[in-house]
Amino acid sequence: MYSYTKKLTIVLGMVVGVLWGASPAQANLQVRLSVDGGAATLVIDAADFTSGTYTNTSFGGVFKIQVLGSASDNGATLSDLLSSTTRVQNIGTGTHTLTIEVSQNNYTLPGTVGADLLMTSSASGTVNVVGAGGPAANTETFQSYVNNVNTEFNITGATTSGPQTSSLNNPGSWTSAPNNATAVFTRTTAEYTVTTIQTLTIGAGGDINFSTQTNLVAVPAPAAVVLALTGLPFVGAGCWLRRRKALALNG
């Protein structure tokens, strides 16, 4: 079976601080967070095509974040951008929104300048505890962006259909819809950037986890890759999340 996701190496207990003085050349896999539409804070600042994690017991005073991780790959057959967490809890007294932006520049594969790429995005997770406030207070959105501007967090260019959305108002598993949102992107530069934006609106007391992935393959893609992207998007993501939980419990 084609392996289409990367196995993350999670170093538990590692809290990645905000690197205020880092230049773009030094920080190419980045994650930033914001609460209720406020200013974004850079929380993961890693080298190209590696991984990083972040934990905070009270981000913005309202969210407890347990092992938020991200990783990226630049591959001849498939490139990707991944994110996951073992737990996000609203520890505040009202409904709040956490925005998670993940970005990686310096992609050079698959293909070459002039090639068309197919981008596919997916998001899923589990509602452990439904937050107060009903359906309007418990929602999720996810969208992926790819462009020829080699700068993190630039969301011009191609965008997957959506945004993909899900209700977080029922306990158990959830999957954003439409499932496997896609976009076709034409490379016009040697390097390109992929960015994802996820918003989690969670009522007071709500407790969830999530796993997202954005994959890029050449068009036309090999049949095995197409099968993996369209038929089994959450098998790898689920295994990743279960592995993170097991490490958290045993760490």
Instruction: Name the pLDDT band for 230 (thresholds 50, 70, 90).
Output: low
Question: What pLDDT is stored for residue 220 in this prediction?
Answer: 80
3-state DSSP assignment of residue 177: strand
Question: What pLDDT is stored for residue 162 in this prediction?
Answer: 86
Length of the chain: 251
Question: Would you list the domain boundaries of the chain?
Answer: 24-123+130-139+146-152+164-190+202-250
Least Cα distance to 41 among 65, 13, 25 occurs for 65
Instruction: Name the pLDDT band for 179 (thresholds 50, 70, 90).
Output: confident
Distance of alpha carbon 110 from alpha carbon 219, whole angstroms: 10
User: What residues contact residue 211 under an 8 Å CB cut-off, 6+ apart?
Assistant: 82, 83, 84, 123, 124, 125, 234, 237, 238, 240, 241
- Across residues 21-31, what is the average pLDDT? 61
Least Cα distance to 103 among 214, 188, 180 occurs for 214
User: What residues contact residue 23 under an 8 Å CB cut-off, 6+ apart?
Assistant: none
| Per-residue model confidence as pLDDT tens digits over 69-115 | 999 999 999 999 999 999 999 999 999 999 999 999 999 999 999 99
What percent of the chain has pLDDT above 70? 77
Q: Tell me the pTM.
A: 0.82
